[in-house]
Amino acid sequence: MTTRTLEWIIERVLFLCAALSVLTTTGIIAVLAFETYEFLREVPVLDFLTGTEWTPLFSNQKFGVLPLVVGTMLVSSIAMVVALPMGLLSAIYLSEYSPSGFRRIVKPVLEILAGVPTVVYGYFALTFVTPLLQAVFPTLSGFNALSPGLVMGLMILPLVSSLSEDAMRAVPQGLREGSYALGATRMQTALKVVVPAAFSGITAAFILAVSRAIGETMIVAIAAGQQPRLTGNPFVPIETMTAYIVQVSLGDTPQGTIEYRTIFAVGMLLFVMTFSLNLISTWLRERFREEYA
């Protein structure tokens, strides 16, 4: 074999490995679409998307996914109320105020916070945060949306903080100096110059955070309960889309039954929601990169 053929073969093999990622996406879509199609042959798509009762595991089966979607939204919103403002403020502090020595210590600690397995956060929510909250709100149920929501916010905070900080540090120093020269304080510079200049990067971080919250599984599977209900009340047990998939996977649901297919239909909805958020986030980040390239 000549060197040239060998080089050609190697390049093809490397390309195939890179293309595997596209195959992964295709595989995800194919698997989800196939089972979802089978599911939708038995349940009309409108009933699935607009129904308000979700009881596939009871004898009186109802396939309205709204309770799971609303449960997911509820927990995610609570998480965002914690993660977005606190993450952004932390990023502002690290990027605009903090002495570099402090930053060098805090950043790795935040990385640890981001690397803690989610099952650990679930344990923390159930055994520490819920009892603590129950001392304040005696009506709080043992499983609820509030506690996992707060803990999820804590889990996502490092992601928001680190991506927003990257965006702010990419803002040219000249903009800050110009602002200081006009007599602005550091707060005015941070809020009126740096944050607006880094706006698309920060938005990208926020959107990615929402996507992460929607797809988060173990915290809610452990601490939010398994009762799909259409409510905005954070004090009672609920169920999210991801927790439902876990609940069914833990049981012995035979392949080919409608119960088995529900997890793929719910998974499809989850995938579509997170994938579109991710695409928007990537697009925003690309745009941001061009602004200061």
Partner 1 sequence: MRKHADAIFEFVSLGALLVALAALAALVFDIVSDGAGRFSVQFLTNIASRNAEQAGVYHALMGSIWVIALTGALALPIGVAAAIYLEEYGSRSRTARFIELNISNLAAVPSIIYGLLGLGLFVRLMGMGQSVMAGAATLALLALPVVIMSTREALRTVPSSIREGSYALGATKWQTIWNQVLPMALPGVLTGLILALSRAIGETAPLITIGALTYIPFAPDGVWSKFTVLPIQVFNWVSRPQPEFKANAAAGILVLMVLLLSMNAIAIVVRDRQQGRGRI
- Binders of partner 1 in range 203-222 (CB under 8 A): 208, 211-212, 214-218, 221-222
Q: What is the DSSP letter of 236?
A: S
The least distance separating partner 1 from the CB of residue 283, rounded to whole angstroms, comes to: 10
Among the listed ranges 52-60, 65-73, 166-174, 188-196, the one in contact with partner 1 (CB under 8 A) is: 188-196
Residues 6+ away with beta carbon under 8 Å from 261 = 35, 36, 38, 39
| Pick 12 or 59: Cβ nearer partner 1 | 12
Q: Measured between alpha carbons, how far is 211 from 52 in angstroms, rounded to an integer? A: 23
Interface with partner 1, residue 182, by CB under 8 A: no
| Pick 133 or 157: Cβ nearer partner 1 | 157
| Pick 65 or 245: Cβ nearer partner 1 | 245
Cα–Cα nearest to 288, from 208, 164, 201: 201
Q: Which of 7, 42, 47, 291 binds partner 1 (CB under 8 A)?
A: 7
Tell me the β-bridge partners of 54.
63
Interface with partner 1, residue 194, by CB under 8 A: no
Residues 239, 105: contact at Cβ < 8 Å? no
Helical segments of the chain, H only: 3-42, 45-50, 66-92, 100-115, 118-124, 130-136, 146-169, 173-181, 186-189, 195-197, 199-215, 218-223, 241-250, 258-291
Interface with partner 1, residue 186, by CB under 8 A: yes
Residues 143-172 touching partner 1, rule: CB under 8 A, are 154, 157-158, 161
Residue type, 113: L
Residues 95-134 touching partner 1, rule: CB under 8 A, are 97, 106, 109-110, 112-113, 115-124, 126-128
Residues 41-100 touching partner 1, rule: CB under 8 A, are 85-87, 89-90, 92-94, 97
Interface with partner 1, residue 272, by CB under 8 A: no
The least distance separating partner 1 from the CB of residue 68, rounded to whole angstroms, comes to: 13
Query: What token pair was written down for 61?
Result: 């089966």
| Pick 63 or 121: Cβ nearer partner 1 | 121
Mask for 11-30, x = binds partner 1 (CB under 8 A)? x-xxx-xxxxxx-xx-xx--
Residue with tokens 């819920």: 130
Query: What token pair was written down for 74?
Result: 């509820």
Interface with partner 1, residue 187, by CB under 8 A: yes
